[in-house]
Amino acid sequence: MSAMLARLSAESKIRPDASIRRALFVAAFIIFWVFAISVRLVYLQVSQHEALGERARSQQQQAIETSSQRGILLDRHERELARSIQTDSIFIDAAKLENAGDIDCTAARLAPLLAVKKEDLQGKLEDAKSKNSRFVWIARRLSAEQATAIQGLGLPGVNFRSEPKRFYPNGSIAAHVLGFVGIDGAGLGGVEQFYNEKITGEPGKLFIERDSEGNPYESFELPGTPGQTIVLTLDHSIQFRAEQALLAAVTKSRAKSGTAIVLDPRSGEILALANAPTFDPNKPGEAKPEARSNWALQNIYEPGSTFKIISFSAAIEKGLAKPDDRIDCQMGSIRVAGRVVHDHHAFGSLTITEALAKSSNVAAIKLGIRVGDPTMYEYMKRFGFGSRTGIELPGETAGLLRPVSRWQPSSIGSIAIGQEIGVTPLQMAAAFGALANDGVRVAPHLVREVRTAAGASVYRANPEQRRVVNAETARALRQMLESVTLNGTARLAQLNGYSAAGKTGTAQKIDPKTKAYSQTKHVA
Amino acid sequence: MNRHPLQHQNSNVHRERDLRALSRLALQLGCALALCCGFVFAAGQHFAAVRYGYESETLRVERQKLLEEQQRLILEKERASSPARLEAAARQLGLKPLQPGQVGTRKPETGRQLPVATALIHRSASFNR
């Protein structure tokens, strides 16, 4: 600029004055113009930066919260037990429904595709129109066929939104372990509920730039954190077989319900946990509440004769009895603090092994009395009764185990044969597992590993292990329990090709009307 | 401003070619051309960016769709290989469930190590207690 003025000044000697004035006027005008533009730019870009930026973003940018992908549930062989996939949901923008004719037409065309009554849908649309709502859910998580058919209709005001839906590819298999999710995608039962936070992950955000016609031309995504993958200890083939066998047994015995647990005693891993009745986690709403209840750990029952392993273990470990010792079963009757307890058969003298095989109540009570109340209580605690196992499922109960101070004089006679105590099937399975594992009780668990979506391991199961009885006692009990299946009350449990050990147990249920033991209702 | 002489025959006047003005004009023209080229280049870049934006957006949507399709296919595969479906399919083929007596373990032969606990679907391999 200064060079130009100098040149103009130098040329002023040969140019007329009017030219210089005109040039100066133009220069001044340009300077003023540039200055005015600069001032305006500074004003817009500094003072109005936030407001204008926000206005532009609202006009051009769309921020969508992307729902995080819920983690996958796998069995021990990495077979998928639960997975989420994106599905379409539809909502109505009532502002786009011009008149009653539009509402009627929309309801008439949508109703058959959604399998709902036209009147119900029409009422919903009219309600949305009366409130002038711009977002009212019509149907959520449609099947791909439904979504395609509705998209093809091109109905005004009907908009789509993508939402994840949880699928359980094996149907009802392991339903009580896996649990299910609600309409908002939160876990409402089983592992889905217990690990909901880990499985859910964190949602992300997608910013989309749109042109004047609303077409997206640029996007930027703040990725969320996908949910973690849970690897369970279940084997879905064993689970399937366990459920089949349980259903057959429940049907055959006309029982109201049943539970089966397959546990690896060395690792504490649960290979199968089945309940009957069961439900399909893909359609949890169609099941009765009792079908969704996990009987294996949420309900307690009197274990009956299966509990005799406690008094027998305690007596053998304390040296108060040996498997070959003989015990007088008093021809099937014993009186304990005024209460008479009978055997199902009148047994005379039996070895300890035979007494367990034939499930003699008299022998169990006599051993319980020999052991004494405090020791009996100590062994029950050692075997894990009266405490939660810590399994990774919601709603586990600790069972019912009263401290010795609250025992009646006759309690030892009842507890030795599995009465006056409440246990869960899972506690009982863990107790038998301890005997199978040379006296070491490994806490039963369902989760092997937790991984990030990228596959990095963030948790590996390291279950608590503790010695319950010494190895010799456990071995002696194992042999005695084998004799139960060979010569005793559990001969039906013999396996062709395999050795088997176990203990039968039948307990009378409390009749809610009489508040006394029922003669017709049992837990076995 | 007075001219001397007042009457002058302009047709006889020959203006000298001003080389400085020419060079100045050429310089200005060059600068203007460079500026224009810059503007054209910038506009080209802008429109290319917009075009790539549309293309990348289309690809993002396509990728999303493909990922969703992949998830659906994985789910279908898992459904198809669920034990209940496999059992039904096996029964249709005339296969029967394995019985406990049909499963046994073969002791490894000397010199030829077999996998541990090889299941043999053969009645002769079973043993009874």
Residue pLDDT, tens place only, B45-82:
999 998 998 899 899 889 988 998 999 999 999 999 99
pLDDT of residue B73: 93
Q: How many Å lie between the alpha carbon of B101 and the closest alpha carbon of chain A? A: 5
Higher local confidence (pLDDT), A324 or A63: A324
Mean pLDDT to the nearest integer, A233-257: 94
For residue A59, what pLDDT band results from cuts at 50, 70 and 90? confident
Alpha helices in A219-292 (DSSP H): 236-253, 289-292
Check if A359 is active-site. Answer: no
ipTM: 0.74
Q: Which of B 97-116 lie inside 8 A of A, CB atoms?
A: 99-101, 103-104
Instruction: Tell whether A497 is within 8 A of chain B (Cβ).
Output: yes
For residue B127, what pLDDT band results from cuts at 50, 70 and 90? very low
pLDDT of residue A9: 55
Higher local confidence (pLDDT), A13 or A233: A233
Mean pLDDT to the nearest integer, A104-130: 90
For residue B119, what pLDDT band results from cuts at 50, 70 and 90? very low
Answer for the pair A113, A150: CB distance below 8 angstroms, yes or no.
yes
Instruction: Tell whether A85 is within 8 A of chain B (Cβ).
Output: yes
pLDDT of residue A5: 54
Residues 6+ apart with CB under 8 A from A246: A258, A259, A260, A274, A275, A276
Compute the Cα dihedral for A44, A48, A49, A54 and give only its sign: negative
Residue B70 DSSP SS3: helix
Answer for the pair A107, A92: CB distance below 8 angstroms, yes or no.
no
For residue A422, what pLDDT band results from cuts at 50, 70 and 90? very high
Distance CA A119, CA A111 (A): 9
Pairing of strands A229-232, A73-74: parallel
The distance between the two most distant Cα atoms of chain B, rounded to a whole number of Å, is: 145
Q: Which residues of chain B neighbour A209 with C-beta distances below 8 Å?
A: 53
Higher local confidence (pLDDT), B126 or A465: A465
pLDDT of residue A511: 76
For residue B124, what pLDDT band results from cuts at 50, 70 and 90? very low
* Catalytic hit among A68, A293, A305, A313: A305
- Mark yes or no for CB contact A83/B83 under 8 Å: no
The distance between the two most distant Cα atoms of chain A, rounded to a whole number of Å, is: 146
Distance CA A262, CA A429 (A): 8
Flag whether pLDDT at A252 surpasses 90: yes
For residue A255, what pLDDT band results from cuts at 50, 70 and 90? very high
Q: Which residues of chain A neighbour B84 with C-beta distances below 8 Å?
A: 170-171, 173, 240
Q: Which residues of chain A neighbour B81 with C-beta distances below 8 Å?
A: 79
Please name the residue that has the structure tokens 């092994």.
Answer: A353
For residue B123, what pLDDT band results from cuts at 50, 70 and 90? very low
- Mark yes or no for CB contact B68/A496 under 8 Å: no
Nearest CB to A217 within list B53, B104, B126: B53
Q: Given phi > 0 = left and psi -120 to 50 = alpha, else beta, which region is A120?
A: alpha
Higher local confidence (pLDDT), A179 or B104: A179
Q: Which residues of chain A neighbour B127 with C-beta distances below 8 Å?
A: 497
Residue pLDDT, tens place only, A370-401:
999 999 999 999 999 999 999 999 999 999 99
Mean pLDDT to the nearest integer, B84-96: 91
- Mark yes or no for CB contact B100/A498 under 8 Å: yes
pLDDT of residue B14: 79
Flag whether pLDDT at B110 surpasses 60: no
pLDDT of residue A212: 76
pLDDT of residue A387: 95
- Mark yes or no for CB contact B84/A240 under 8 Å: yes
Instruction: Tell whether B128 is within 8 A of chain A (Cβ).
Output: yes
Lowest mean pLDDT among A230-239, A252-261, B4-13: B4-13
Mean pLDDT to the nearest integer, A408-415: 93
Q: What is the pTM of this model?
A: 0.78
Residues 6+ apart with CB under 8 A from B75: A80, A83, A85, A167, A169
For residue B122, what pLDDT band results from cuts at 50, 70 and 90? very low
Summary mean pLDDT of chain A: 90
Q: How many Å lie between the alpha carbon of B65 and the closest alpha carbon of chain A? A: 9
Nearest CB to A169 within list B53, B79, B104: B79
Flag whether pLDDT at B121 surpasses 50: no
Tokens describing residue B44: 């080209």
Nearest CB to A237 within list B83, B103, B104: B83
Mean pLDDT to the nearest integer, A351-366: 94
Share of chain A above pLDDT 70, in %: 97
Summary mean pLDDT of chain B: 79
What DSSP string runs through B89-105?
Answer: HHHHTT--PPPGGG---
For residue A358, what pLDDT band results from cuts at 50, 70 and 90? very high
Q: Which residues pair with A519 in a beta bridge?
A: none
How buried is A262 (Cβ within 10 angstroms: 0-12 exposed, 13-18 middle, 19+ buried)? Answer: middle
Instruction: Tell whether A214 is within 8 A of chain B (Cβ).
Output: no
Q: Given phi > 0 = left and psi -120 to 50 = alpha, else beta, which region is B51?
A: alpha
pLDDT of residue A481: 96
Mean pLDDT to the nearest integer, A7-20: 61
